[in-house]
Amino acid sequence: MKVIILAGGWGTRIGRLAEFVPKPMIKIGNKPILWHIMKIFSHYGLNEFIICLGVKGDVIRDYFYHYEIRNKDFTVDLSNGNIQYYDRNENTNWRVTLIDTGINTLKGGRIKRVEKFLDQGINMVTYGDGVADIDIKKLVEYHKSHGKTITISGVHAPARFGEIVEENGQVKLFIEKPRTSIGLINGGFMVFNESFLNYLTTDVNCELEKGPLEELSLKGEVMVYKHQGNWECMDHERDVMYLNKLWENNKAFWKVWE
């Protein structure tokens, strides 16, 4: 099972913090939020990632290309260029595939453009700016239990996000950014069957929520895993400050790993 992380958007709402780096590279503590998201999946044994690049994608490429240098102490022998790394107790066994999916491509198009890198059967996708204390194992088990095309993770969040309306776990309707919060929103952490890709195109304007998920929900093929725990999205500068405060005070709810 592969995990797609959508990391190519403009991140305009976060303002000046995304002036030089893409939003997934904005740091919580001394690590990008992208790293935190990957650690959540890795805790549950998912270590193969496909990162959809777009805006300032070269920053993400550079981070992973120089991952050891950025995350470990080392000695470099300048006479021959040999480097000896010292482990900082971080045993990372990730396999990371970095794919340029276009500057202005919408989320559905990005997913379709990495289709050839996915496993047959079931894969996952999430956004590059949201963290949660979600149990990935239970989420995948729930998806397998109902046999529908895709499972999204419903989370409770402020009213600035679009909402989903569900009945007995089946998604009935998507509501775009209501004025008041009445239910759940799609918090990412989605599990989908291979057949979901048939509803996507590589077109730059292929959206995820509007179109494919709406069409599938009308067919009764979208289910929601109701996450009752914590979830936060790095959408504005105030969110960056809040997440860093939690991390600094050892209250990072998403830190499910040791």
Distances, alpha carbon 254 to alpha carbons 8, 23, 37, 92, 133, in Å: 23, 18, 9, 18, 4
Confidence of residue 180 (pLDDT cuts 50, 70, 90): very low
* pLDDT, tens digit, 9 for 90 and up, residues 209-258: 889 999 999 999 999 999 999 999 999 999 999 999 999 999 999 999 98
So what's the architecture of 3-248 in CATH?
Answer: Alpha-Beta Complex (3.90)
Task: Classify 239 in phi/psi space as left (phi over 0), alpha (psi -120 to 50) or beta.
Answer: alpha
User: pLDDT class for 106, splitting at 50, 70, 90?
Assistant: very high
* Contact criterion met (CB below 8 Å) for 37 and 130: yes
Q: Looking at residue 161, what is its pLDDT?
A: 61
Please state, in angstroms and rounded to a whole number, the distance separating the CA atoms of residues 128 and 108.
Answer: 14
Q: Report which of residues 53 and 178 the model is more confident about.
A: 53
- What's the per-residue H, E or C state across 147-195? CCCEEEEEECCCCCCCEEEEECCEEEEEECCCCCCCCEEECCCEEEEHH
Least confident range of 20-29, 151-160, 172-181:
172-181
- d(CA 66, CA 76) in angstroms, rounded, equals 14
Please give the backbone phi and psi of residue 59, each rounded to the nearest 5 degrees, phi first: -65, -40
The stretch 10-31 carries a mean pLDDT of 92
**CB-side neighbour CA atoms (13 Å) of 208:** 20
The model's confidence at residue 159, banded by pLDDT at 50, 70 and 90, is: low
What's the pLDDT score for residue 134? 97
Of 127-136, 170-179, 229-238, the least confident: 170-179
- Closest CA relative to residue 183, chosen from 224, 149, 218, 216: 224
pLDDT of residue 170: 87
Angle subtended at Cα 136 by Cα 130 and Cα 137, rounded to the nearest 5 degrees? 180
Helix axes 136-146, 33-43, angle to 10 degrees: 60
Share of the chain above pLDDT 70, in %: 94
Q: Select from 111, 9, 126, 110 the least CA-distant residue to 56.
A: 9
* Digit-coded pLDDT (tens) for 63-98: 999 999 998 899 999 999 999 998 776 768 999 999
Work out the mean pLDDT of the chain and round it to a whole number.
92
Task: Write down the pTM of the prediction.
Answer: 0.90
Percent of the chain whose pLDDT exceeds 90 = 78
Q: What is the mean pLDDT of residues 37-44?
A: 98
Q: Which residues pair with 97 in a beta bridge?
A: 50
Q: Are 126 and 4 in contact (CB under 8 A)?
A: yes
User: Please, which pLDDT band fits residue 205 given cuts at 50, 70 and 90?
Assistant: very high
User: Residue 57 in contact with residue 4, Cβ under 8 Å?
Assistant: no
Mean pLDDT of 3-25: 92
- The whole-number pLDDT of residue 167 equals 83
Mean pLDDT calculated for residue range 30-57 = 97
The 3-class secondary structure across 55-82, one letter per residue, is: CCHHHHHHHHHCHHHHHCEEEEECCCCE
Write down the pLDDT at residue 16. 87
pLDDT of residue 181: 52
Cβ-Cβ contacts under 8 Å for 219 (sequence gap 6 or more): none
